[in-house]
């Protein structure tokens, strides 16, 4: 087992976590499956199940990829002042690159938004981060966000798992939800949070930061960049500050660090989260570090040019044509005739996350706004168009778009790619929604795939000509043999899961 995964496993075992749930997606699928986590239909439901477990005294963990934070944001924000029971941690995987996502989102920004703590460990710090996250969660009755990046999870070091021992609060029987919070109003709960929880988190942030003082220049490093920064700081005689908490930041320590150094570089990713909180530092915003993954040479160059205040220049924007696609629709895919038929149809076509993204270069779909989005998007087209959605995406959040379309008598053809697995994230079984769909749209059509392109084209054009919601289920069996381990859960230049 990879070093990073080993650290997380050991910490969860020591903490006594009793419930783990997840939504598959790069870069967290491997971790979740190695833990035997329970798959959830979407991230909001996963987090709600974990809240229920926490309320009844079960320490719980929710594992999602960065885009999943957007789905669970509602109960997450509410739970901050609502309070929880036993420790509850959201482990979110940010995709540096990105390699298997449509965007390079930085989940740390959910810290200030929800007023919840965010820990951002490097791989060697994972054990400490997991135990600290559960300690803070259970002692303060809040969920804690544990942000890891793809580089951290892929760390293959084989060093021993070391921890400072379990915090005393985690050695006791896990807490349960305390109803007395309802003695306070919503405003009172927020006041309590600001008066009690935030200062306690600030102290935890200060005491967990690591400082290594050396020279006139300093580096503040977070997450996967830390091991590189340690090497480069030693080479260049620079000081290093490593906060474990990205939110709240250890501001007293940081201000002291800034005061002691003439120049300070912030090395983090994927976004300029810490840098955007500080004045006069160097980093991505000043052009000292590139967008995407940071390498040791990037750090060396940035430190050698740290005396220059602004290095922003022309950015070479990466194009799909300039980078060979890592994947396209698999050879022998039973749904290939559908994509070919779609590429010939003159109507707006909304695609969805999943295999459909692989068809973008074929011109099969026009836009993809994320998992479960296509039916809602196509419902807004000026003239009747087509939504293509996979069966997992439909269960995830697409079904609400379908209900809305039926409710408001939208004109939309819904084509469901039905293979009963989440093919791009590791063939997880998908819940069978066919009876639900039949109840919602009694005259739905079923097409066994592969079917002739002309027949598929005719069915879709018939659908475009008749008013209302037209539902076609394209049933086939995924022929993709397996996912290579280096693919993670996804993959092509457009991002999948
Ligand atoms: S993973 Fe399966 S469903 Fe997706 S393109 Fe490949 S064969 Fe088709």
The pLDDT tens digits for 100-141 are 888 899 999 999 999 999 999 999 999 999 999 999 999 999
Whether the predicted pLDDT of 160 surpasses 60 = yes
Residue 293 — very low, low, confident or very high, per pLDDT cuts 50/70/90? Answer: confident
For residue 207, give the DSSP letter: H
Domain shared by 275 and 349, yes or no = no
442: left (phi over 0), alpha (psi -120 to 50) or beta: alpha
Domain shared by 405 and 464, yes or no = yes
| 104 domain-assigned | yes
Domain shared by 248 and 185, yes or no = no
Atom of ligand 1 nearest to the CA of 358: 5
Using CA positions, which residue lies closest to atom 2 of ligand 1? 478
Domain shared by 482 and 357, yes or no = yes
Domain shared by 240 and 347, yes or no = no
pLDDT tens-place string over residues 182-194: 999 999 999 999 9
Atom of ligand 1 nearest to the CA of 424: 1
pLDDT tens-place string over residues 27-47: 999 999 999 999 999 999 999
Q: What is the pLDDT of residue 22?
A: 98
Q: In b/e form, how buried is each residue of 172-203, taking b as 16+ CB within 10 angstroms?
A: eebbebeeeeeeeeeeebeeebeeebeeebbe
| 311 domain-assigned | no
Q: List residues near ligand 1 (CB under 6 A).
A: 329-330, 333, 335, 355, 358, 419, 423, 478-480
| 324 domain-assigned | no
User: Which stretches within 155-223 are classed as H helix?
Assistant: 186-192, 198-208
Using CA positions, which residue lies closest to atom 3 of ligand 1? 478
Measured in Å, residue 225 CA sits from the centre of ligand 1 at 35
Report the share of the chain in percent with pLDDT over 90. 81
Q: What is the pLDDT of residue 317?
A: 85
pLDDT tens-place string over residues 305-316: 999 999 998 888
Measured in Å, residue 291 CA sits from the centre of ligand 1 at 31
Q: What is the pLDDT of residue 250?
A: 98
Domain shared by 195 and 270, yes or no = no
Last residue of a domain, one of 208, 237, 258: 208
Domain shared by 342 and 469, yes or no = yes
Domain shared by 146 and 270, yes or no = no
Last residue of a domain, one of 182, 208, 234: 208
Using CA positions, which residue lies closest to atom 8 of ligand 1? 333
Using CA positions, which residue lies closest to atom 5 of ligand 1? 329
Q: What is the pLDDT of residue 157?
A: 77
Q: Packing angle between helix 296-304 and helix 226-236, nearest 10 degrees?
A: 40
pTM (two decimals)? 0.94
Question: Of residues 377 and 357, which shows the higher confidence score?
Answer: 377
Domain count, the chain: 3
| 314 domain-assigned | no
Report the share of the chain in percent with pLDDT over 70. 95
> At 369, which CATH number?
3.40.50.970
Token pair in block for residue 73: 């944001």
Nearest to 174 by CA among 117, 135, 132: 135
Atom of ligand 1 nearest to the CA of 479: 7
Which of 391, 419, 475 maximizes ligand 1 atoms within 8 Å of its Cβ, making it the mutation to test the pocket? 419
Using CA positions, which residue lies closest to atom 4 of ligand 1? 355
Mean pLDDT score of the chain: 93
Measured in Å, residue 174 CA sits from the centre of ligand 1 at 44
| 329 domain-assigned | no
Q: What is the pLDDT of residue 326?
A: 62
| 328 domain-assigned | no
Peptide bond into 352 cis (omega under 30): no
Domain shared by 53 and 188, yes or no = yes
Domain shared by 244 and 142, yes or no = no
* C-alpha–C-alpha distance, residues 5 and 2, integer Å: 5
Last residue of a domain, one of 282, 304, 326: 304
Nearest-5° angle of CA 485, CA 489, CA 493? 105
Residue 492 — very low, low, confident or very high, per pLDDT cuts 50/70/90? Answer: very low
Domain shared by 127 and 232, yes or no = no
Q: What is the pLDDT of residue 161?
A: 76
Measured in Å, residue 333 CA sits from the centre of ligand 1 at 5
| 341 domain-assigned | yes
Query: Which domain covers residue 368, as residue numbers?
Result: 336-487
Measured in Å, residue 164 CA sits from the centre of ligand 1 at 46
Which of 100, 326, 328, 329 maximizes ligand 1 atoms within 8 Å of its Cβ, making it the mutation to test the pocket? 329
Chain position carrying tokens 């501001």: 251
Atom of ligand 1 nearest to the CA of 423: 1
pLDDT tens-place string over residues 386-441: 999 999 999 999 999 999 999 999 999 999 999 988 888 888 989 999 999 999 99
pLDDT tens-place string over residues 452-469: 999 999 999 999 999 999
| 312 domain-assigned | no
Measured in Å, residue 425 CA sits from the centre of ligand 1 at 11
Domain shared by 218 and 196, yes or no = no
Measured in Å, residue 452 CA sits from the centre of ligand 1 at 18
**Average confidence (pLDDT) over 12-32:** 96
Measured in Å, residue 114 CA sits from the centre of ligand 1 at 38
Residue 196 — very low, low, confident or very high, per pLDDT cuts 50/70/90? Answer: very high
């Amino acid at each position: 087992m990879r070093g990073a995964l080993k650290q997380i496993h050991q910490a969860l075992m020591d903490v006594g976590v009793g419930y783990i749930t997840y939504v598959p997606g790069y870069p967290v699928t491997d971790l979740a499956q190695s833990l035997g986590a329970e798959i959830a239909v979407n991230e909001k439901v996963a987090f709600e199940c974990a809240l229920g477990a926490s309320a009844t005294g079960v320490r719980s963990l929710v594992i999602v990829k960065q885009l999943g934070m957007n789905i669970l944001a509602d109960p997450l924000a509410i739970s901050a002042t609502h309070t929880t029971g036993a420790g509850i941690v959201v482990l979110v995987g940010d995709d540096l690159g990105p390699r298997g996502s449509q965007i390079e989102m930085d989940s740390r920004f959910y810290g200030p938004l929800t007023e919840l703590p965010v820990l951002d460990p490097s791989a060697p710090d994972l054990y400490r981060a997991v135990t600290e996250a559960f300690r803070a969660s259970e002692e303060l009755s809040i969920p804690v966000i544990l942000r890891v990046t793809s580089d951290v999870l892929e760390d293959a070091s084989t060093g021993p798992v070391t921890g400072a021992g379990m915090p005393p609060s985690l050695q006791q029987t896990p807490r349960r939800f305390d109803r007395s919070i309802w003695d306070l109003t919503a405003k009172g709960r927020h006041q309590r949070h600001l008066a009690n929880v935030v200062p306690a988190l600030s102290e935890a942030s200060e005491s967990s930061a690591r400082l290594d003082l050396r020279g006139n220049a300093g580096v503040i490093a977070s997450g996967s960049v830390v091991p590189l920064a340690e090497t480069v700081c030693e080479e260049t005689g620079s000081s290093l500050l490593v906060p474990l908490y990205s939110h709240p930041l250890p501001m007293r320590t940081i201000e002291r660090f800034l005061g002691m150094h003439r120049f300070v570089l912030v090395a983090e990713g994927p976004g300029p989260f810490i840098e955007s909180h500080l004045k006069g530092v160097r980093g991505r915003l000043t052009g000292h570090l590139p967008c995407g993954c940071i390498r040791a040479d990037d750090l060396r160059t940035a430190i050698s040019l740290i005396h220059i205040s602004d290095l922003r220049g022309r950015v070479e924007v990466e194009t799909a044509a300039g980078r060979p696609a890592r994947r396209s629709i698999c050879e022998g895919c039973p749904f290939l005739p559908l994509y070919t038929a779609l590429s010939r149809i003159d109507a707006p076509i909304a695609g969805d996350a999943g295999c459909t993204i692989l068809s973008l270069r074929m011109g099969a779909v026009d836009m993809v706004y994320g998992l479960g989005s296509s039916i809602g998007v196509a419902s807004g087209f000026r003239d009747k168009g087509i939504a293509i959605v996979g069966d997992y995406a439909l269960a995830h959040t697409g079904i609400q778009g379908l209900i809305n379309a039926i409710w408001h008598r939208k004109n939309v053809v819904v084509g469901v790619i039905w293979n009963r697995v989440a093919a791009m994230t590791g063939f997880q079984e998908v819940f069978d929604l066919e009876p639900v769909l039949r109840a919602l749209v009694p005259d739905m059509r079923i097409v066994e795939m592969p079917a002739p392109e002309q027949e598929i084209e005719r069915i879709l054009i018939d659908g475009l000509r008749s008013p209302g919601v037209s539902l076609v289920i394209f049933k086939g069996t995924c022929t993709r043999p397996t996912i290579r381990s280096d693919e993670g859960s996804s993959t092509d230049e457009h991002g999948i899961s």
